[in-house]
Chain A
Amino acid sequence: MNMRTVKDTIMKMLIFLSAFITIGILVWIIGFVVTRGIKHINLAFLFTFPKGDEGGIFPYIMNTLYMILLSLSIATPIGVLAAIYLVEYTNSHPVVKFIVRVIRFATESLAGIPSIIFGLFGMLFFVIILGLSWSLLSGALTLSIMVLPTIIRTTEEALKAVPSSFREASLGLGASKLRTVYKAILPSAIPGILTGVILSVGRVVGETAAVIFTAGSAVNLMKNLSTSGRTLSVHMYILAKEGISFDMAYATATILLIIVFVINLSTNMLAKRLNKAV
């Protein structure tokens, strides 16, 4: 065996080791959390209100759902329309080109801003300056800014993947630009847009730092836009931080992992359909 084979074998082992470590971390985290959490999950846990350190997590599940619905109904239209502008309406005019560059840079920057900064900003702007106080609305507005880049980027990719023959055919038949976008391009881009929306759901579900300073951490069910309440992740953080009840923390973590798993499964299925369609 010469030097080269030895070197190659060592590198190959390191590559396998890296892949193994990555998978190992995943299996370890999931296995550890789920085996301890699953036995505490039952209908009562999911559908009753908390009583002190015990009881269910029903309000937190509902709060998370409200947060998802509200933030995405703000971010999705804006993000999709923004992407349509970036892909369909831009031309090589220098002013337009400059605007597009600025928008691209802003979107990338927005994607890179850490969630704690969003939390700070949301607290300052929505909670204090606009006087919305710690509430569902403040939280959802903050989160909608946070997920905007995800929606813009995935929609852009989806629009770019629509063959240009669709556009040409529609315009050639005399349809207006708007009609072309609405009738010919958007329908073929729907699975891609949906992927972006589902990815955003994942971010909203997993977010803690931005939510805790804008929606607060009150132990109640959000009844309207201006009530404060904690989401599942915030609840999870408080359980872990205060060390109140590890059983409940394992169970909540398991619920979160199940949600993440379902989200990943559905994006993968959508991606598969998308690949088949093209």
Chain B
Amino acid sequence: MSYQNHVIKDVIKFENSESDTSMEGKEAIVKIAKLDKPNKRRELTEKIIEAIFMLCALTAVICVATITIFIFWEGGPAIFEIGLSNFIMGTEWEPLADIFGILPMILGSLYATALAIAFGVPIGILGAVFLAEIAPVWLQRIVRPAVELLAGIPSVIYGFFGLIIIVPMLSDQFGGAGNSLLAASIIPTVISISETSIRAVPKEYKEGSLAMGASHIQTIFKVIIPSAKSGILAAVILGIGRAIGETMAVILVAGNSPLIPESLTDKVRTLTGNIALEMGYAYGLHQEALFATGVILFVFIMGLNLTLNLVTHKAGE
């Protein structure tokens, strides 16, 4: 706007000046310059369009706010009615007797996630090292699409596979459910994000370390991975989020009994499983208790999101 005002002022100055340009030339230049005068309608359109763009961008905020409000609105009262400590420390879940304690499910989710992390994270990080540092280009061209494909397999297929293969296998050997399946579903997440952060480590670090006489492997574990640690941490947090939130695969393989698991191979029911298994037929306080389970899950996830946000911001600096 101010720029265009300047132009107009310049045009007027030019019109009144005593320059050497011939009269016709002067008129022509003024005509052209005036054609470009600010167009109110065009500016208004631009403003309106910008507002629409902004509104679309705010949709994400509105969605998160709405989801948070409604989940809390529906699940909050149940937590008050049952009592927060009864709800999250209660060891019994008997909807028919109006007893709602979700400690077994909280522990179930934590156990399953811990197992997934224990197997999935080391394999994922080493897999990322393989892709970023060890594998020759032709092998990368095979492995990377394979990892992407693994990431794209719907969780219900993981669950089905686990149900048919892993559950009978583990039952034969240990007599328990196959909740280690989650590990497989977080590997692709961990690999792709760790690989990106390993690749982002400045080349000089590696060169410096190699020049000092360290071997390639030493360089990877003593120099590269420590420099990439915030990216790798982000990968682990995302993996945890994925494992905690996983629903259908877990239901199919975890056995789902609402009891506190005592060993690695006990049947577990996760928070997500608790919601998905009973939502179809629950009503009244039972249904509200399921939403309250959703509230607890939501709080876990938001905590993870905040941590992730902090970690990635730190990485950005």
Interface residues of A (CB under 8 A from B): 4, 7-8, 11-12, 14-19, 21-23, 25-26, 28-29, 32-33, 77-79, 81-86, 89, 99, 102-103, 105-110, 112-121, 123-125, 129, 145, 148-149, 152, 174, 176-178, 202, 205-209, 212-213, 233, 236-237, 240-241, 246, 249, 253, 256-257, 260-261, 263-264, 267-268
Is the CB–CB distance between A237 and B248 below 8 Å?
A: yes
Q: Which residues of chain A have C-beta atoms less than 8 A from B150's C-beta?
A: 22, 25-26
Known contacts A23-B146, A108-B309, A121-B67; can you find 19 more A-B pairs with CB under 8 A?
A16-B130, A18-B127, A19-B131, A29-B153, A81-B52, A82-B57, A113-B245, A114-B241, A117-B294, A148-B60, A149-B60, A152-B60, A176-B46, A177-B46, A178-B49, A209-B247, A209-B276, A213-B280, A237-B159
Per DSSP, chain B at the interface is: helix
Nearest B-chain residue to A4, judged by Cβ:
B215
The distance in angstroms between the C-alpha atoms of A32 and B251, with both chains bound, is 21
The minimal Cβ–Cβ distance linking A4 to chain B, given in whole angstroms, is 6
Q: Which residues of chain B have C-beta atoms less than 8 A from A256's C-beta?
A: 154, 156-157
The distance in angstroms between the C-alpha atoms of A129 and B74, with both chains bound, is 11
On whether A81 and B57 interact (CB within 8 A), knowing A148-B63, A208-B248, A240-B160, the answer reads yes
**Stretch from B22-30, B100-108, B298-306 contacting the other chain:** B298-306
The minimal Cβ–Cβ distance linking A252 to chain B, given in whole angstroms, is 9
On whether A116 and B215 interact (CB within 8 A), knowing A82-B60, A178-B46, the answer reads no
The distance in angstroms between the C-alpha atoms of A117 and B298, with both chains bound, is 7
The distance in angstroms between the C-alpha atoms of A42 and B302, with both chains bound, is 46
Cβ-defined partner of B272 (8 Å) among A82, A114, A253: A114
Interface residues of B (CB under 8 A from A): 36, 42, 45-46, 49-50, 52-54, 56-61, 63-67, 70-71, 74, 122-127, 129-131, 134-135, 143, 145-150, 152-161, 163-165, 184, 187-188, 191, 215-218, 220-221, 238, 241, 244-248, 251-252, 272, 275-276, 279-280, 290-291, 294, 297-298, 301-302, 304-305, 308-309
Cβ-defined partner of A18 (8 Å) among B122, B238, B305: B122
Q: Which residues of chain B have C-beta atoms less than 8 A from A78's C-beta?
A: 56, 59
